[in-house]
Structure 1
Amino acid sequence: MFIPFEARSLSDWNIYSSSSQETASILFDGQTSVEYLNIEKKSAYRFVVSQTIKQLEPGYYTLTAIIKNGGGQPKCYIYADAASGEMRLTSLPVSSEWLEVIVRGIEVREGECTIGLYAEANGGNWCSIHSFELVRSDRPYELLKGGDISELPRIEENGGIYRDRHEPKDGLEILKAYGHNIVRIRLYNDPGNPDFWPSNQLDERGYQNEERTLALAKRAKEQGFQIQFSFHYSDYWTNGLAQHKPHAWEGLAFDELKEALYQYTRDFMERLVKQGTAPEYVSLGNEIQGGMCYPDGSVDNWPQLAELLKAGCRAVKEISEQSKIVIHLDGATEDEKYEQFFGSCERYGVPYDIIGPSYYPFWTQASVQQLVDFCNKLVHRFDKDILLMETGYNWNAATGNGIRGQLENNGPEPYESTPEGQRDFLYSLMNGIKQVEQGRCLGVLYWDPVMIYVPGVGWQKDAPNVVDNTTLFDFDGNALPAMLAYKYNN
């Protein structure tokens, strides 16, 4: 069902606030409310502009709008409220060109839906909304929004303090308050063991080992988070270049290695389920575009890699059938890489539920729009949902140690390496996720949002922290403006 707005109520919403004017200007033929936030200076305004659509059939709807936005507002989002549950929001990305913005998963039960714009604007801020369309979609949608919290206990135990508006608080409570609804937790087999390399490159207190990981999963679940759980199948962090087998698996024949991976996965899943923390999503390995457990499970030997993935999948599903299997690769937008890898999964009968790309504008040198196009191609080719497993964006050009961090720059995205630039990138990314056809992109997990600057704490022994300038907290642990992208998108 397509609901166009009648001509008389299709006025453009041109919102402009000026500190030199007695009133803000709004052109709209609907319900409008404007008030000063700073009464004395008359320099900040709250706008609520809305219209109610009636006689709608029950079901799920998608709202799209064509917008321009000069940016700079503390808050600026379109919304849909059908009085049947959570109000649906999408923050307006900054754009000087007309851009489509989308709100998904609007559930109408009583035949009415109010759509509108909410903005808290400073003098000189502006945005324009050219048109709206409300379309029956019959598909529920939940935006997953969160990040990897594996470093949280280490930061806390080494003196790091998280703050919201300068008030110290539990880091997880802050994330929850800003709308995070999922956490990623990674597991290493035996990290920090001084007798084995590369395990001995990590802290001897065994952060991200089995016991600490179980405790963190329980803590997150008690806060109401969904869990994306990542088996690294290593004593050390893994990616395309580093896929070291756990020291306990070295020297095993391939059939023994496959059995060890299966049994390890099954045993730990049993422990997660037993304590009430069955993960909603499980990734087998981390950025495995080159394979896992080198050299046995390298992509140079796809039949063996397929057997390892099948063993891991079988172990997960035997214990927690509802947990969805994610296969995680780097390099979002690299079409050929994904065609080769997931085409091989098809060829060798590897079962999985979700494709999990990593997307960093710096590493991929790709824009959000290129990401949307890439995701649409994946959906058409493989008919799988997508979950962005990693993303990151500099909010400062240098780390707390004054060196260049993991990201040299922010790639082709136009937003600067500032707190506001990081926020505006996430506004754009959240909208881009919702643009993917049929809502098949489920959401995004931010990389190491909590690994804030703490003197002496780095990514491994005697190495600096190279991500504390991409976190969602500043060097003093204060929540950054980027948190608003989580709060005002759902």
Structure 2
Amino acid sequence: MRKLILLLFISTLGFSQNKPFAKGADVGWLPQMEATGYKFYDSDGKEKDCLQLLKDRGMNSIRLRVWVNPSDDKASGHCSKEETVVMALRAQKMGMRVMIDFHYSDSWADPAKQFKPKAWENHTFHELLDDVYFHTFDVINALKIAGVSPEWVQIGNEIPGGMLWPDGSTQNWVKLGQLLNKGYDAVKAVDKNIKVIVHVDEGNNNKKFRTFFDNATKQKVRYDIIGLSYYPFWIKKDYTETIADLRFNLNDMVKRYGKEVMVVEVGGEDDKIQNTKELLTETIKAVRNVPGNKGLGVFYWEPQGARSWSHYALSAWLENGQPSPALDAFKE
């Protein structure tokens, strides 16, 4: 009986330690929006801190991108190590969990472009391995010294074709596998409890994901979570045409590779409020319903990045500086 009670206690303890579902936002533009004078307002018209507005709408997590030697361009620069530490500390002080997204570039890295940082361009492959390790370690260690404990770290941003081209292209999986493992090792050297994410776009495309992660498995790539982007807009389809494919892919990734999954980027059109809210509701539901609590969370990409400031059509912010009602999907 005593043994049974002990087992029940341990089981209950384990359950209580499960982290809540992550509902978050990538807010890399926020410091520059504030620096250039953009003001954020609540639905009552009163000015309020942007992170508080997101928190009031149910968000509990923040995602921050990191570039190596970025310019000071307001929209395609900043996001340096130092700026990331400041922003992560601000988010953590508000009780929000932190995800760090390494692009391994001086500016945007995505499926169409994975340019090496200028300082690394002429390095040998072995030097590039060291670059990835020491840059990753340096940023995560700086966060640790500042008192920030990121919960998740992405090694690369939307890398279906690899990263740090041409060395780390998927045309050369042996090298890509080594680069990804260097990033993983650097993160774990700072804090073994941080979960490492590998991130591919077009989360409704199961074939793309199987191709990528089958190759990653062959190369013994080390990671904890499969990260997905989900943007029906970019493939010119409505979410109603693709959500079933997203559900299938989420479940298949867990079943096939035994990993946890997250939608680390999602977004809908800012002028289609109801449609975007439904997209978010269904995306959150799809991730929550992954068997075994293996679906960890959903992050909106730059919800606060109002079109008037960013010229980006997939924010979730109104022209009057207030959050779109679409974000109420995160309250549920």
Q: TM-score, normalised by structure 1?
A: 0.62
The 1:337–1:420 alpha-carbon spacing in structure 2 relative to 1, beyond 3 Å, is closer
CA drift of 1:335 comes to: 1.8
Once the two structures are superposed, residues 244-274 of structure 1 have per-residue CA deviations (whole angstroms, 9 ceiling, x without a partner) of 1000101101001111111111111110111
Look up the match of 1:174: 53
CA drift of 1:204 comes to: 9.8
- Corresponding residue SS for 2:47: strand
User: In the alignment, is residue 149 of structure 1 matched against residue 3 of structure 2?
Assistant: no
Look up the match of 1:19: none
Look up the match of 1:185: 64
The 1:340–1:420 alpha-carbon spacing in structure 2 relative to 1, beyond 3 Å, is closer
**Is the helix fraction higher in 1 or 2?**
2
- Corresponding residue SS for 1:388: strand
Alignment of 1:43-62 (within 5 A): none
Kept in 1: contact 2:204–2:243 (CA 8 A): no
Q: Residue type of the partner of 2:246?
A: L
Q: Residue type of the partner of 1:280?
A: E
Look up the match of 1:484: 328
Which ranges in structure 1 are unaligned for 5 or more consecutive residues?
1-57, 60-83, 85-105, 108-138, 194-201, 397-416, 459-464
User: In the alignment, is residue 375 of structure 1 matched against residue 221 of structure 2?
Assistant: no
Once the two structures are superposed, residues 411-440 of structure 1 have per-residue CA deviations (whole angstroms, 9 ceiling, x without a partner) of xxxxxx2x2332222222222222222222
Matched residues in 2 for 1:336 and 1:349: separation? 20
Matched residues in 2 for 1:294 and 1:435: separation? 36
Once the two structures are superposed, residues 42-83 of structure 1 have per-residue CA deviations (whole angstroms, 9 ceiling, x without a partner) of xxxxxxxxxxxxxxxx99xxxxxxxxxxxxxxxxxxxxxxxx
CA drift of 1:181 comes to: 0.6
Pick one of 208, 225, 228 that aligns with 1:354.
225
CA drift of 1:289 comes to: 0.7
Matched residues in 2 for 1:210 and 1:192: separation? 13
Kept in 1: contact 2:205–2:245 (CA 8 A): no
Kept in 2: contact 1:284–1:325 (CA 8 A): yes
Pick one of 113, 125, 128 that aligns with 1:242.
113
Once the two structures are superposed, residues 353-407 of structure 1 have per-residue CA deviations (whole angstroms, 9 ceiling, x without a partner) of 00001111223545222211111111110111001011111131xxxxxxxxxxx
Q: Residue type of the partner of 1:169?
A: K
Look up the match of 1:162: 40
Q: Larger relative CO (CA 8 A, sep 6+): 1 or 2?
A: 2
Look up the match of 2:137: 266
CA drift of 1:205 comes to: 10
RMSD of equivalent CA atoms: 2.2
Kept in 1: contact 2:76–2:108 (CA 8 A): no
CA drift of 1:141 comes to: 6.3
The 1:141–1:255 alpha-carbon spacing in structure 2 relative to 1, beyond 3 Å, is closer
Q: Percent identity?
A: 34
Alignment of 1:168-317 (within 5 A): 168-192=47-71, 202-203=73-74, 206-317=77-188
Once the two structures are superposed, residues 325-352 of structure 1 have per-residue CA deviations (whole angstroms, 9 ceiling, x without a partner) of 0000001122221112111111111100
Matched residues in 2 for 1:374 and 1:479: separation? 30
Once the two structures are superposed, residues 299-333 of structure 1 have per-residue CA deviations (whole angstroms, 9 ceiling, x without a partner) of 10111111111111110000011110000000112
Q: Residue type of the partner of 2:249?
A: F
Pick one of 474, 483, 489 that aligns with 2:318.
474
Kept in 2: contact 1:191–1:204 (CA 8 A): no
CA drift of 1:188 comes to: 0.7
Kept in 1: contact 2:265–2:299 (CA 8 A): yes
Look up the match of 1:338: 209
Q: Name the count of aligned residue pairs.
A: 317
**Is the strand fraction higher in 1 or 2?**
1
Question: Which has the larger Rg?
Answer: 1
Once the two structures are superposed, residues 256-297 of structure 1 have per-residue CA deviations (whole angstroms, 9 ceiling, x without a partner) of 111111111111111011101121000011001100110011
The 1:423–1:203 alpha-carbon spacing in structure 2 relative to 1, beyond 3 Å, is closer
Matched residues in 1 for 2:172 and 2:124: separation? 15
CA drift of 1:206 comes to: 5.0
Matched residues in 1 for 2:101 and 2:291: separation? 27
Which ranges in structure 2 are unaligned for 5 or more consecutive residues?
1-7
Matched residues in 1 for 2:145 and 2:223: separation? 24
Look up the match of 2:267: 392
Look up the match of 1:410: none
CA drift of 1:169 comes to: 0.2
The 1:432–1:214 alpha-carbon spacing in structure 2 relative to 1, beyond 3 Å, is same
Look up the match of 1:441: 295
Q: TM-score, normalised by structure 2?
A: 0.90
Alignment of 1:67-106 (within 5 A): none
Q: Residue type of the partner of 2:141?
A: E
Kept in 2: contact 1:453–1:476 (CA 8 A): no
Matched residues in 1 for 2:286 and 2:139: separation? 35
- Corresponding residue SS for 2:325: coil
- Corresponding residue SS for 2:217: helix
Matched residues in 1 for 2:18 and 2:153: separation? 22
